[in-house]
Structure 1
Amino acid sequence: MTEQKQASDPADPADPADPADPVDPAEPKIDEAVDKAVEKVVDERVEDKLDERVEEVLSEAGASAERAQQAEAGAVDARTGAEQARAGAVQAGSAAVDAAKLVAPADDPLLDTAVRKIEAQVDEKNPYGLPGRPMSSRSPFRIAFTAAMGVALAYGVVLALSAVKSVLILLLTAAFLAIGLNPAVEALERRKVKRGRAVGIVLLAVLLFFVGFGFAVVPPIVEQAQAFADDLPRYVQQLQDNERIASLDERFGLLDRARELLDDPSRLGVSAAGGVLGVSKVVFSAFFSALTVLILTLYFLSSLPTIKANAYRLVPRSRRARVGLLTDEILSRIGGYVAGAASIAALAGVTTFLLLLVLGVDYPLALALLVAMTGLIPLIGATIGATVVTLVALFTSVQVGIICAVYYLIYQQIENYVLYPRIMQRSVDVSPAATVVAVLVGGSLLGVLGALLAIPMAAAAQLVLNEVIAPRQNQS
């Protein structure tokens, strides 16, 4: 009975489940449904909270935007108020000035300090008044003032250059010689000779050349010049025998006056005595100028690298290398031009000396030196020297004069179209039109020195135009 009762009683819930008892298949589905329900409730709560937070953020943003609009409106109102206040202050100042003008003298109402302070709107922050509005760049007064200042500055520069023209000529001559001799100094430097010693060697060689040339040339020139002066009466007689010159002499009496001076040495002596002081002054001035040029050339030649380095420091660092290259090229062209011009002039002088010796023309050395010196002048120098030599040769005989004229006609063609282009091609590259314009402008400004400097300066200007100005214009 007891066993049957125990078997019929239900299982005690406190008792542990018997692992052998069967599991209800509906229990996992119920648990899964419960979990899904819980998750759904949690998600709904999270979404509600997120929606509430978004609404709060949007509300705060709207409030911030509204406050910003209010602040901006307040700033605009404040700016407007400040402008109105300033306009009112200006009107008040103008009214005060007008009132002060009624009290102040009629000639100059701003002589009173109080009136000036009111006019300038002086306050604690601006003890000297408010600055006026900037002047427009199109203002007629500003344009006229700028133009007047430019004209005054240019006029002052012209006056200053005119006052120091003689000193400027000496400086340019010394700089030109220094640049021309610099290639020889650099050649010695490449042979491991220090620059100071190289400069001394080059200048000593130049001085010895001129001293030797002077001892070799001056005595014959003096002798030949004296002989030429002694032969002047004979030349005058030869000119008088010419029919055309005789007709001119009948009209103007030129030969009679020349003969009177030659027949009366006392009159020449009086004129010479009167000009001794002037000649002495000229000689002393020439000697002083030559000494000054020599000293300046020595200084420029020895300190040329230092001068270039100091000049390069004035250029911005980003462009310093390019400016250095362009400057070296300009100096190289000037030096090459000096060497080339000296070579051409020396060749013209030597060929003239040989020609006159062969033809038996008087004063060959003096005339050759004249041709060499005039050959340094571009364009017209060779023509001047050839004309003088041909005229002197005509006194020997008409045939000799014609031979000289034909020789110089052929020689100038060879020099202009064969020698000059080949020698100058490596140093300067200037068009013929630019050469003519440069020589005319340089000659009108500085005479013979300006004509000598014209071509290398034109070459430098053309280099700057091609390498600096033209590329900038192409990029603009």
Structure 2
Amino acid sequence: MPSGGELIALPAGGNGPKHPNYFLLGFVGALGVLTAWFLTQALVGARAVLVYILVALFLAVGLNPVIEGLRRRARMPRWGAILTVCLTLVFFAAVFVWTIVPPLTEQVASFATNLPDTLNDLQNTPFFADLEQRYDLLDRFEGVVTAPDFGQQLFGGLVGVGQVVFNSLFATFTVLVLTLFFMASLPAILDVSYRFVPRSSRDGVRRIGDEIVRRIGSFIAGQLVVAVFGGVVAFFFLWAIGSAYALTLALVVAVTALIPLVGTTIGALVASLAVALGNPLLGLVTLVFFLVYQQIESYVISPRVMRHAVDVAPTANITAALVGGALMGLVGALLAIPTAAALTIILKQVVFPRLERR
């Protein structure tokens, strides 16, 4: 017994202090890391499917204002409004294909028919004769064509192109089917999402969520307005210069204008190249016209439409599109601006008021 009558409390059973089981801790930690790795690999493997779902949900939310407008103004049931929107999209796709495929087929056939004459004319030019003398182009081309593996390489290239086309068609069909299901069940999806929020905050979250849905719809509507305006301007210009494919090229310009940042440039290059095949001078004039129009669209039309639609500064729009494009490519650039609008709403209605009350 220690001096002073003090007692020393010993652990129960007389044992000393227990040490942690390092083997068990290491096993559990390794199991957690392995589980995280498997989950990451699963997400990477399902990346394409997740992108399809994200794009379909974005389209469903963006088309929801059109469906609600048809329900209010035309007094349609929701399924009738959804059917009307789907039939309109199918009709537009059919018109687009109908205007694109025949001219493209005609141009390819004409190019294949005139290719020997074009090569003969090209050989008689001093520029090509100089290149032939320096680099022996014809003999090299003949060597490539007559190589034993040329047919295999050509077949492999055709198979690769066919696979890309098939994957694109499959992705488009998948997104359209998912969009149809999401449009039909969007109110139920939103209601279930809001029920995860505590009852005391549910009304405020519902108000913010409905505003975000409205902004996404406004963004898609704004993109359509800019695209239609660009297509109409392109059609009248191409018709004025006498292009035989004014409607086809105008539709190409309108569709590519839906792509953020680079869409207008792609449409301008396609239209200018198509015109230049028939008349190089008119092709150059067309390119200059679209470059001028692109500046007007970028600095006058699009900022006004998009600021009214999503209420986000043009600088934030460009920054968001660049960051989204760097992270997820074209899909990221398309989703970035409405995401920036959603974050702006949350900042203005939630974060900033809380900071002001402190």
TM range (shorter): 0.7 to 0.9
Q: 1:235 to 1:374 in 2, by over 3 A?
A: farther
1:151 and 1:236 mapped to 2: Cα distance? Answer: 67
**CA deviation after TM superposition for structure 1 residue 376, in Å:** 1.6
**CA deviation after TM superposition for structure 1 residue 268, in Å:** 7.8
Of 192, 203, 206, which residue of structure 1 is paired with 2:86? Answer: 203
- What SS does the aligned partner of 1:447 have? helix
The superposition leaves residues 295-323 of structure 1 with CA deviations (integer Å, 9 ceiling, x where unpaired) of: 21111101111111111101111211111
Q: 1:324 to 1:119 in 2, by over 3 A?
A: closer
1:453 and 1:239 mapped to 2: Cα distance? Answer: 50
Which residue identity is paired with 2:95?
A: G
**CA deviation after TM superposition for structure 1 residue 428, in Å:** 1.1
**CA deviation after TM superposition for structure 1 residue 391, in Å:** 4.1
Q: Which moved more, 1:463-472 or 1:380-389?
A: 380-389
Q: TM-score, normalised by structure 1?
A: 0.61
1:148 and 1:469 mapped to 2: Cα distance? Answer: 39
Q: Does residue 88 of the first structure (1) align with residue 9 of the second (2)?
A: yes
Q: Give the conservation status (yes or no) of the 8 Å contact 2:232–2:250.
A: yes
The superposition leaves residues 7-47 of structure 1 with CA deviations (integer Å, 9 ceiling, x where unpaired) of: xxxxxxxxxxxxxxxxxxxxxxxxxxxxxxxxxxxxxxxxx
Partner of 1:329: 211
Partner of 1:410: 292
Which residue identity is paired with 1:88?
A: A
Q: Does residue 461 of the first structure (1) align with residue 336 of the second (2)?
A: no
In the alignment of these two chains, the number of paired residues is 344
**CA deviation after TM superposition for structure 1 residue 249, in Å:** 8.0
Indicate the RMSD between aligned Cα atoms, in angstroms.
4.0
Which residue identity is paired with 2:263?
A: G
Q: TM-score, normalised by structure 2?
A: 0.79
**CA deviation after TM superposition for structure 1 residue 190, in Å:** 0.8
Which residue identity is paired with 2:64?
A: N
Partner of 2:110: 227
Q: Does residue 370 of the first structure (1) align with residue 252 of the second (2)?
A: yes
Q: Give the conservation status (yes or no) of the 8 Å contact 1:236–1:259.
A: no
Of 419, 424, 427, which residue of structure 1 is paired with 2:301? Answer: 419
Partner of 2:267: 385
Residues 166-185 of structure 1: matches in 2 within 5 Å?
Answer: 166-185=48-67
1:272 and 1:151 mapped to 2: Cα distance? Answer: 46
Q: Does residue 215 of the first structure (1) align with residue 98 of the second (2)?
A: yes
2:125 and 2:355 mapped to 1: Cα distance? Answer: 67
2:120 and 2:307 mapped to 1: Cα distance? Answer: 46
Which residue identity is paired with 1:164?
A: A
Q: Does residue 401 of the first structure (1) align with residue 283 of the second (2)?
A: yes
Which residue identity is paired with 2:179?
A: T
**CA deviation after TM superposition for structure 1 residue 469, in Å:** 1.7
Q: 1:444 to 1:250 in 2, by over 3 A?
A: farther
**CA deviation after TM superposition for structure 1 residue 417, in Å:** 2.9
Partner of 1:344: 226
2:132 and 2:315 mapped to 1: Cα distance? Answer: 42
- What SS does the aligned partner of 1:426 have? helix
- What SS does the aligned partner of 1:88 have? coil
Of 313, 331, 336, which residue of structure 1 is paired with 2:195? Answer: 313
Residues 31-430 of structure 1: matches in 2 within 5 Å?
Answer: 87-90=8-11, 96-97=14-15, 119=18, 158-191=40-73, 192-230=75-113, 234=118, 256=138, 260=142, 271-361=153-243, 364-430=246-312
* Structure 2 residue ranges without an equivalent (≥5): 21-28
1:475 and 1:236 mapped to 2: Cα distance? Answer: 80
Q: 1:247 to 1:475 in 2, by over 3 A?
A: farther
**CA deviation after TM superposition for structure 1 residue 164, in Å:** 1.1
Q: Give the conservation status (yes or no) of the 8 Å contact 2:96–2:251.
A: no
**CA deviation after TM superposition for structure 1 residue 188, in Å:** 1.6
Q: Give the conservation status (yes or no) of the 8 Å contact 2:307–2:314.
A: no
**CA deviation after TM superposition for structure 1 residue 324, in Å:** 1.1
Q: 1:329 to 1:157 in 2, by over 3 A?
A: farther
1:236 and 1:429 mapped to 2: Cα distance? Answer: 59
**CA deviation after TM superposition for structure 1 residue 384, in Å:** 2.7
Which residue identity is paired with 2:195?
A: R
Q: Does residue 432 of the first structure (1) align with residue 314 of the second (2)?
A: yes
- What SS does the aligned partner of 1:427 have? helix
2:205 and 2:318 mapped to 1: Cα distance? Answer: 28
Q: Identical aligned pairs, as a percentage?
A: 42
Q: Give the conservation status (yes or no) of the 8 Å contact 1:332–1:427.
A: no
Q: 1:280 to 1:391 in 2, by over 3 A?
A: closer
Q: 1:194 to 1:395 in 2, by over 3 A?
A: closer
1:257 and 1:314 mapped to 2: Cα distance? Answer: 71
Larger C-alpha radius of gyration, 1 or 2? 1
Q: 1:283 to 1:196 in 2, by over 3 A?
A: same
2:64 and 2:139 mapped to 1: Cα distance? Answer: 52
1:257 and 1:349 mapped to 2: Cα distance? Answer: 45
Q: 1:468 to 1:89 in 2, by over 3 A?
A: same
Q: Give the conservation status (yes or no) of the 8 Å contact 1:199–1:301.
A: yes
